[in-house]
Amino acid sequence: MKVTAEKNEKVAKMIFASVYPHYVNKVEKKGRTKEDLHKVIEWLTGFNEDKLQELIDEKVTFETFFQKAKLHPNAHLIKGVICGYRIEEIDFDLYRQARYLDKLVDELAKGRKMEKILREEKQ
């Protein structure tokens, strides 16, 4: 499937705080913790828990959320299909970044090991 400009714009305008509780529910239902979720979000975006809470309180859009983020240099290693879209084929940066986050949350909920989720380099 191809991401349209309209779909990208819709995601850009979504409020991160409205989606965040769904992320928490998804991972907790599968036995992971909110702390695990925060670790994954911090890895991807650079936001520590305080900064994340600040962005939630400010009700920032996904566009603002990812504009303020400093994406991890290994984020490009997040590949695969999420919501019917192959991540590495998404042309819109914002939409791809939002799907990176979705993919990490999915992997966390599926019980994948943290070092795999965080795409740690082999020593």
Would you write out the chain's pLDDT as a tens digit for each of its 123 residues? 788 899 999 999 999 999 999 999 999 999 999 999 999 999 999 999 999 999 999 999 999 999 999 999 999 999 999 988 899 999 999 999 999 999 999 999 999 999 999 997 654
**What residue type is assigned to position 94 of the chain?**
L
Q: Which pLDDT does position 83 carry in this prediction?
A: 84
Task: Give one DSSP letter per residue of the chain, joined into a string.
Answer: ----HHHHHHHHHSBHHHHHHHHHHHHHHTT--HHHHHHHHHHHH---HHHHHHHHHTT-BHHHHHHH----TTGGG--SEETTEEGGG---HHHHHHHHHHHHHHHHHTT--HHHHTTPPP-
Q: Which pLDDT does position 121 carry in this prediction?
A: 65
Q: Which pLDDT does position 64 carry in this prediction?
A: 98
Q: Which pLDDT does position 123 carry in this prediction?
A: 42
